[in-house]
Amino acid sequence: MSHNQSEIYTYDFCDADHPAELLDALRHFYTSGLFTDVSLQCGESGQVFHCHKALLSARSSYFKVMFTADMRERSNSLITLSGVDSGVLGALVNYVYTAQVCITASNVQSLLEAADLLQFTSVKQACEEFLIRLLDVDNCLGMHAFAELHLCPGLEREARRVMLSRFTELIQQEELLQLDHEKMRSVLAALSLTVQRDEVLIDAIAKWVTHDLGNRVQHVADFLRSIKLDLDELYFKESLEVHTQRSLSSEGKFKSVIVQALRSSGKEVSASRKMSSSMYIIGGYYWHPLSEVHMWDPISNKWVQGKDMPDHTRESYSVSLLGANIYVTGGYRSNTVEALDTVSIYNCDYEEWTEGPPMITARYYHCSVALHGCIYAIGGYRGGAPERETEFYDPLKKKWFPVAKMIQGMQNVRLLLVTLQYDLKRKNYNE
C-alpha cells in the first residue's frame, strides 16, 4: 500500500452494542451505588434514591434546569421531593436506567402526575395513551377533567369525543351528578354544539338540578342559555313558588316546569336530532372493488371525498371505528381470492392512511368490533370453511392477541352478540 493511499483510507467504526452496553453499565453503577452524585428523597423522611445527575438531566427537563440553573438544589447532594410517592419515584428512577416503566390501572394517574411534575415527557405520554385505552362513557367526565388539569391534549380530545358521541348514556351516569356548576355548564355547552336535541339536554339539566334542588335550582337559567335557550325567568320563578319542593324533586315534573317556562318565552322544545359527528363510507363494490372514502356532515348536509384506500383491489374486508381511527381488516384481492391479514388504519382527524400490524389469522367475510379500547376480529373465511379463530388488536401495544376460539365458525357475526360474549372473555387477556 502506497503512502498516499494510507492517508486517504478511513474506517468509521460504529459499535452497535454501545448504547445497550452503556445503559447496562450505568444501571450497574446505580444498583451498586457507584459514582452517584445526588440523592432523591420522598418527603422529609421517605425513601432515598442515590442517582446520577447527568442521567436524570438527560431524561427530565425538571432536573436539567435544577442542576444547571442558579438554584439552591444545584449544589445540594440531597433533593427532597414533596408530594411524590416513593413507589412512583422509584419507577421513574428505574425508567432512567432501564428505559422501561410498568404502567397499570392502579398506578397510571399517580405516575402521570409525577411525570408531569418532574417533566418526564415520554413517561407522561405513555400514561396518557394508557388512559385513552381505558376511556369509556362511565369515566370520560373524570378523564376529561384530569386531562385538562395535567395538559394532556390527546386524552382530553378522546374523552370529549366519548362525551359527545355517547351523550344519551352519559346523562345516565352517576358521575354527571357530581359535577360542579361550571363543569356542568361547559359539558352542556359542548353538547349543544354537537347535539341539537333540546329534550335530551333539558333531561340532563333536570337530572343534575333535582339531585340537589335547593342549591342547584339557581343555575337553571344559566344552563339553558349555554345551550342557546332562554326561558321566561319570571314565569319560572312563579312556577317554583306554586309547586312544593316535594313535587319538584321528580325529574319529570321539574322538566315540565322548565319546558312551560321556555314556551312562555316563545321557545319550542325540539325533539329533532342533528349530529355534527361525520358519517364515513369506506370502499364497497360496484362491478369492481371501490377504494374511495366519503364523509357526510349532517349539519352542512354535504358529502366530502377523503383519501382513497391504498389497496384498490381489496374487497370483503371488515370496518370498525375506535376513537379517531377507522380500522379496515382482512379481505381478499379480487385477482387471487386469497385471504389477507392486512390492516389499514384511516385517521379521521388527519385524513391519512397508515399500515397496522397484520392479523394473526388472515380472513375475509368476517366481523370486527371495537370493545374496551381494542379491535376484535371474529369469524369469517380463510379458504373454504368458516373460521373459528378470534383475536383482538391492542392499539397501545400495537399487537394482535389470540383469544378463545368460537364454538362454531361463522361469517358476519352480529355485533351485539359479539360485544356481550367478549365482555365476559376479556379476562383471557387480563390474566
Q: Does residue 409 register a pLDDT over 80?
A: no
394-407: per-residue pLDDT in tens? 999 999 999 988 88
If you search the block for the grid coordinates 435544577, which residue do you land on? 66
Between CA 84 and CA 41 the distance in angstroms is 9
Q: For the chain, give every residue range classified as CATH 3.30.710.10.
A: 18-148
Output the pLDDT for position 383. Answer: 76
Please check the confidence at residue 191 and state whether its pLDDT lies above 90. Answer: no
Helix, strand, or coil (residue 104): coil
Mean pLDDT of 121-132: 95
Residue 425 has pLDDT above 50, yes or no: no
- For residues 345 and 215, the model is more confident at 345
Most confident of 222-226, 268-272, 298-302: 222-226
pLDDT (average), residues 222-245 = 76
Asked if the model's pLDDT at residue 153 lies above 50, the reply is yes
| Residue 353: per-residue pLDDT | 94
Instruction: Say what the pLDDT of residue 325 is.
Output: 92
Tens of pLDDT, residue by residue over 254-288, are: 888 888 878 777 766 666 555 556 788 998 888 88
User: Mean of the pLDDT values across residues 144-149?
Assistant: 93
Q: What is the pLDDT of residues 27-75, one digit of tens each?
A: 999 888 899 889 999 877 788 999 999 999 999 999 999 998 876 666 6
Edge-to-edge strands, sheet with 374-378: 367-371, 374-378, 390-394, 399-403
In the numeric block, the cell 349539519 is attached to 299
What is the model's pLDDT at position 285? 83
Determine the pLDDT at residue 9: 87
| pLDDT band of 431, cuts 50, 70, 90 | very low
d(CA 124, CA 52): 21
CA distances from residue 341 to 216, 330, 359, 407 in whole angstroms, order as listed? 55, 5, 5, 22
Encode pLDDT of 326-342 as tens digits.
999 999 887 887 899 99
Residue 188 has pLDDT above 60, yes or no: yes
Which run of H or of E encompasses 397? none
Task: Identify the pLDDT of residue 277.
Answer: 67
Higher pLDDT, 228 or 367: 367
What's the confidence (pLDDT) of residue 243?
67
Name the pLDDT band for 422 (thresholds 50, 70, 90): very low
Phi/psi of residue 12, nearest 5 degrees:
-85, 90
Give the confidence band of 416 by pLDDT, cuts at 50, 70, 90: very low
CA distances from 5 to 2, 10, 11, 13 (A): 5, 10, 13, 19
CA distance 109 to 93: 17
86-96 pLDDT tens trace:
999 999 999 99
Distances from the Cα of 412 to the Cαs of 115, 381, 415, 418, in angstroms? 44, 10, 9, 11
Q: Which of 322, 320, 366 is nearest to 341 (CA)?
A: 366
Confidence (pLDDT) at 83:
84
Residue 76's pLDDT is what?
77
Indicate the DSSP class of residue 72. Answer: G
3 versus 329: which is more confidently predicted? Answer: 329
Architecture of the domain whose range is 18-148: 2-Layer Sandwich (3.30)
Domain 279-430 has CATH 2.120.10.80: yes
Q: pLDDT value at position 272?
A: 55
CATH 2.120.10.80, the chain: domain bounds: 279-430
Under the banding of pLDDT at 50, 70 and 90, the label for residue 204 is confident
pLDDT band (50, 70, 90) for residue 421: very low
